[in-house]
Amino acid sequence: MKHLLSAGDLSLEQAVAILDTAIQMEQVNKREIKKLPTLRGKTVVNLFFEDSTRTRTSFEVAAKRLSADVINFTAKGSSVSKGESLKDTAQTLEAMGADGVIIRHPASGAAHTLATSGWIEGSIVNAGDGTHEHPTQALLDAYTIRQKLRDNAIGSDLAGLKVAIVGDIAHSRVARSNLQLLKTLGAEVYLVAPATLLPGGLAAQAKGHYYSLDKAISEIEFDAIMMLRVQSERMTASFFPSEREYARIWGLNGERLARLRPKTIVMHPGPMNRGLEIDAKAADSKNSVILAQVANGVSVRMAVLYHLLAGGSEIE
């Protein structure tokens, strides 16, 4: 594997291999000395054109725990704010000898452009491009689901598990990547959203879709329910009448939580709009695995960097 651009590029075997490696990385993260010499001498660049706390810091921690040198590059305070193009920025990084570039960009397809343009030799990891994809988030979500719902995690897929992805699907790269990866792993994915926020093309790829959260909960016994952030910053029109109405009809609150199975896990990619798509009762309940998702992010990203940067070629 050279690049990780889309969750859809991963085969079942590759996805399970990455998740299995992440289990061993998690063990390293529990040690007193959380450091491996594996990527010694490699340089990883965090190229972030969009704000991020979780993803950027967890990639940085992951690369450092594998002994890579990390360069953090954010659009603010760099030559990008002087008008430098993506191409020139990429070629500058290439001249500095970057072995891996982790890119987040507001434009869908930016990671793909970087990987296929020939501007740069190193491996490209898509850390979120516009409303398109966020494959490492999907991997850490799949890892969390497997960790919480499978007794023997190593080597297993997610066959037969029912997962709901709820909310602002139209603007969500997390939803797009999760839909593909969870399907590859054998899970049954249901999309639940207001009609204005559920593109027909995506609905057709899912096992099923609902225009009512209450109806979905009453008809399907979900193993995991993934609430998406309402991405007001990407909305160019009004997709629902008011935030209060959205919270009332689409939000996961204590009352809806009580109607789920006791073992159903509640997920959110963060950052949460508390009181909008999820309320404090649901977010802080014992069903919530939201903090586990953040912790697993480091292990999963270590596994991704290991698979992309450590070896000479394909997985044995």
Partner 1 sequence: MSSRTVLSGSDIDRAVTRIAHEIVESNQGTSNLILLGIPTRGVLLAERIATVLERSYPEFAADSSLGRLDITMYRDDLSANPTREITETSIPAGGIDDKVVVLVDDVLFSGRTIRAALDALGDYGRPRAVRLAVLVDRGHRQLPIRADFVGKNLPTSVAERIRVQLSETDNDNSVVIEG
- Which residues are identified as catalytic? 54-55, 82, 104, 134
Q: Which of 9, 24, 240, 295 binds partner 1 (CB under 8 A)?
A: 24
Closer to partner 1 by Cβ: residue 37 or 201 = 37
Closest CA to 266 of 143, 166, 199, 118: 166
Q: Give the C-alpha separation, 46 to 43, whole Å.
A: 10
CB contact at 8 A, 49 and 105: yes
Site for partner 1 in 129-188 (CB under 8 A): 154
Stretch that binds partner 1, among 34-42, 162-170, 175-183, 256-264 (CB under 8 A): 34-42
Q: Give the C-alpha separation, 307 to 239, whole Å.
A: 40
CB contact at 8 A, 115 and 135: no
Please report which residue ranges of 32-172 form alpha helices under DSSP H: 54-65, 86-95, 110-116, 135-149
Q: Give the C-alpha separation, 2 to 74, whole Å.
A: 24
Closer to partner 1 by Cβ: residue 151 or 316 = 316
Q: What angle do CA 262, 138, 175 make, to 5 degrees?
A: 80
Q: Which of 2, 35, 215, 234 binds partner 1 (CB under 8 A)?
A: 35
20 makes contact with partner 1 (CB under 8 A): yes
Q: What's the closest the beta carbon of residue 291 comes to partner 1, in angstroms?
A: 25
1 makes contact with partner 1 (CB under 8 A): yes
294 makes contact with partner 1 (CB under 8 A): no
Closer to partner 1 by Cβ: residue 66 or 283 = 66
What are the CA-CA distances from residue 289 to residues 143, 145, 267 (Å)?
12, 9, 6
2 makes contact with partner 1 (CB under 8 A): no
Q: Which of 8, 9, 29, 38 binds partner 1 (CB under 8 A)?
A: 38
Q: Using CB under 8 A, list all residues that contact partner 1.
A: 1, 17, 20-21, 23-24, 27, 31, 33, 35-38, 66, 154, 306-307, 310-316
